[in-house]
Amino acid sequence: MSSRNRKKLVIDTNVALGSSDPMYNPMSVVAGDMNRRCLDAVWQEEHFAVFNRQLRREWRIHASRSATRWLQSMALKDRIIDEEGEAFSMLLAQACDCQAVKSHKADLEKDFHLVQSALATGQTILSNESNLPKFIAIACPKVHELASLYYANPTVEGDACRLWIKAGAEKNADRCIHVWSQNHQ
């Protein structure tokens, strides 16, 4: 892949946690194997992984051994980008105000660090969260910046997620977070 086509992806800890260890089957449809294949695809296509302090801390605590090795390899090749996305922290309150249920606000708050880093870089999140896109979609009409986010989920999409990464992780209309949420309810 051309260096111009490499994407910056915020990769949630649940992808690292779900990466299969030690019995990895590259043909399996088991969620852990799907996660690991997606990480392998990010490596093979030379994409970048975006981290912030909270995400790094979560990876240190929860990543499987294979995900830890993957992260070390990415760091050795200078394919890690540190970005807190602090300029977008003020969007959290606005996004939470759009949520009708208190627990949804708490869940959105818990993962908003992913949103901030994504908005500051490539606008793309790779995660196994199924509720985060719904919460963002609810907020998009009032918090317009959130509509620029793109989303992929290895456990929901299966091999289609890996193939999307292999094809360049392009920002297609069906990957817009609010569209993705509608299509994967």
pLDDT at position 33, please?
80
The pLDDT tens digits of the residues spanning 6-65 come to: 999 999 999 998 675 555 555 555 566 889 999 999 999 999 999 999 999 999 999 989
3-state secondary structure 132-184: HHHHHHHHCCCCHHHHHCEEECHHHHCHHHHHHHHCCCCCCHHHEHHHHHHHC
Mean pLDDT of 151-169: 95
The answer as to whether 77 is a domain residue is yes
Average pLDDT over residues 157-168: 95
Tokens encoding 32 = 């852990």
In a domain, 33, yes or no: yes
CATH code for position 89:
3.40.50
Q: How long, in residues, is the chain?
A: 185
Structure tokens at 46: 């030379």
Answer whether residue 184 is part of any domain: no
Mean pLDDT of the chain: 92
Give residue 150's domain range: 3-179
Give yes or no for a contact between 49 and 125, defined as CB atoms under 8 angstroms apart: no
pLDDT of the residue at 17: 83
- Spatial neighbors of 17 by CB under 8 A, at least 6 apart, are 62, 63, 64, 67
- Give the C-alpha distances (Å, rounded to integers) separating 19 from 76, 86, 87: 20, 29, 31
- What is the count of structural domains for the chain? 1
Give me the pLDDT at residue 146, please.
Answer: 98
103-122: per-residue pLDDT in tens?
A: 999 999 999 999 999 999 99
pLDDT of residue 5: 81
pLDDT digits (tens, 9 = 90+) for 73-102: 999 999 999 999 999 999 999 999 999 999
Structural domain contains residue 185: no
124, pLDDT greater than 80:
yes
- Calpha distance 8→47 (Å, rounded): 6
Question: Which stretch of DSSP H or E encloses residue 24?
Answer: none
For 119-137, b/e burial (b = at least 16 CB within 10 A) is bbbbbbbbbbbeebbbbbb
**Whether residue 4 has pLDDT greater than 70:** no
Q: Determine what percent of the chain is predicted with pLDDT higher than 70.
A: 90
Kindly tell me if the per-residue pLDDT of 151 is higher than 80. Answer: yes
Helix (H) or strand (E) holding 27: none
- 92, 109 Cβ separation under 8 angstroms: yes
Q: Is residue 120 part of a domain?
A: yes
Domain membership flag for residue 7: yes
